Structure 1
Amino acid sequence: MTLLSLTDLAVTLRNRPVFSGVSMTIGEGELVGLIGPNGAGKTTLMRSALGLLPIQSGQSSLAAMSTADRARAVAWMPQAREIAWPVPVERLVALGRLPYLPISGKIPPADQEKIDAAIAYLGLEEFRARAASRLSGGEQARALIARAIAQDTPLLMTDEPIAGLDPAHQIATMQVFADLARHGRSTLVSLHDLGLAARHCTRLVLLAEGGILADGAPEDVLTDALLARAFGVTAWHQQTSSGPVFQPLEVI
């Protein structure tokens, strides 16, 4: 089943072409890492695919949906993670059920089960009644992921969810996405940490030079030639008993 389909997508912002000719699909059970240098258009690609930015030409299956259908097809986690209002964590997570709630706004038992399951999945039980604005950065990230999981969509799109987190929270976040993929739910995640991308993603899409430069398995995308071309760096990579290890080394 195809969860996202982009066909010859092109976007221009402030009279500047960002990218063109972008075509890709995402199916069930994939963890797709969207990588590329700063300014390549990763955030723009995700937002235009969601219909949040105007598309100059081409098509996005998600952007073509009605608002109600799209809310049931994809959960969106933007780059900004600051939680400004002191709502309890449980209430924050419950916002993920808005696309399904009746007009009365009351939460039916089946929806409460989804909320409880998401809170448990992210290990947030002890924070259930705490104001979300009082959580640490890593805890806020987990609460927002729980909200997205409570939305119970087949696809999650998230923009740099590990930026600013310590190593433990970065790894834990990527493990959550990998676990979702193993259970059939897919994630498109933009990130700059190529090491974590190599270790956890089932597939990488390299956005550079105004389009998709490569799309495939991590070992086929993170090649010396493509790294030099897209990022201008060298890297060391090795397959170990603990999985692939990838480390950028020097600027060319």
Structure 2
Amino acid sequence: MTLMSVQNLGISLRRREVFKGISFEIQEGEFVGLIGPNGAGKTSLMRAILGLLPHDGSSSLAAMSPRQRARTVAWMPQSREIAWPVSVERIVALGRLPHLATGQRMPLADQVRVDAAIERLGLEAYRQRAASRLSGGEQARALIARSLAQDTPVLMADEPIAGLDPAHQISTMQVFRELAGDGRAVMISIHDLGLAARHCTRLILLAEGRVIADGTPHDVLTPELMAEAFGVSVWHEETAEGPVFQPLEVVK
């Protein structure tokens, strides 16, 4: 089942064309990594898909009403500093707002989803701590938990593992992969190509104002495409413990 459809999407910012003619669909069960060099337009593409930026072309998510969209897709932007002195539990509970009527108290079933999200991100010890007093990595995990609590068919996140330590990077990628395994569609932008190779089911490579590759990590993370898009040589090996990918040297 198609959960996201993008057709001929294009964006120009400050009279500069960022990209054009972007088309793809994402099906339930896919964990898609959006990769590309700095300035390729990954953040702009995700925001346009959500209807947060003016754009040419169409997006099935942008076409929805705000309330319908909030019940369909959970969005975690790249900027994620928490300034409010409220508890982690309250931050995570905000993910349930699209499912509640105005002024409605949160039912027990919604609290169960909040508790499950807190547990899944390993935040039990921080439940009553002021989120504004957490480290940057801990705040990121709280906001990922909020997205999980939103319990939508689609989850989109802009560099969600940036700033996390290696253990939490891996565990977060595993959570995203499990969500896709449960039938959701997950799309994240990511710079760590090694983690993308190990956990994503599909990669979309954005460079030079267009999608230059779209397929499995094995098909996208080729030496030729990595040299073209990033200007680096790479080492990519299939091992008994899964794929291992490492950029090596600058080649241009």
1:189-204 aligned at under 5 Å gives the runs 189-204=188-203
| 1:38 aligned partner | 38
Residue 94 of structure 2 aligns to a residue in which SS? helix
Greater mean deviation of Cα atoms: 213-222 or 114-123? 114-123
**What amino acid does structure 1 have at the position aligned with 2:178?**
D
TM-score, scaled to structure 2: 0.97
Task: Go from structure 1 to structure 2 and tell me whether the alpha carbon gap of 1:166 and 1:123 turns closer, same or farther (over 3 Å shift).
Answer: closer
| 2:132 aligned partner | 133
Q: For each residue in 1:175-201, what CA deviation from the matched residue of structure 2 results, as whole angstroms up to 9, or x when unmatched?
A: 111111111122101011111110110
| Count of aligned positions | 251
1:214-225 aligned at under 5 Å gives the runs 214-225=213-224
| 1:12 aligned partner | 12
Partners of 2:172 and 2:248 in 1: how far apart? 25
Partners of 1:135 and 1:185 in 2: how far apart? 29
- The answer to whether the Cα contact below 8 Å between 2:78 and 2:157 also exists between their aligned partners in 1 is yes
Partners of 1:195 and 1:162 in 2: how far apart? 13
Structure 2: give runs of 5+ residues left out of the alignment: none
Displacement, 1:114? 1.4
Residue 184 of structure 1 aligns to a residue in which SS? coil
**What amino acid does structure 2 have at the position aligned with 1:111?**
D
Displacement, 1:105? 3.5
Q: For each residue in 1:142-188, what CA deviation from the matched residue of structure 2 results, as whole angstroms up to 9, or x when unmatched?
A: 21111001101011100011112221121111111111111112210
1:95-244 aligned at under 5 Å gives the runs 95-244=94-243
Q: For each residue in 1:90-130, what CA deviation from the matched residue of structure 2 results, as whole angstroms up to 9, or x when unmatched?
A: 10001001101122231112211211121122222221111
| 2:22 aligned partner | 22
- The answer to whether the Cα contact below 8 Å between 2:34 and 2:204 also exists between their aligned partners in 1 is yes
Displacement, 1:138? 2.4
| 1:75 aligned partner | 74
- The answer to whether the Cα contact below 8 Å between 2:121 and 2:172 also exists between their aligned partners in 1 is no
Residue 213 of structure 1 aligns to a residue in which SS? strand
Partners of 1:228 and 1:122 in 2: how far apart? 36
Greater mean deviation of Cα atoms: 103-112 or 91-100? 103-112
Structure 1: give runs of 5+ residues left out of the alignment: none
Partners of 2:135 and 2:175 in 1: how far apart? 18
Partners of 2:231 and 2:217 in 1: how far apart? 18
**What amino acid does structure 1 have at the position aligned with 2:2?**
T
Q: RMSD of the TM alignment (CA)?
A: 0.9
- The answer to whether the Cα contact below 8 Å between 2:11 and 2:19 also exists between their aligned partners in 1 is yes
Displacement, 1:137? 2.4
Partners of 2:169 and 2:72 in 1: how far apart? 26
Residue 18 of structure 1 aligns to a residue in which SS? strand
Displacement, 1:229? 0.7
Partners of 1:110 and 1:163 in 2: how far apart? 32
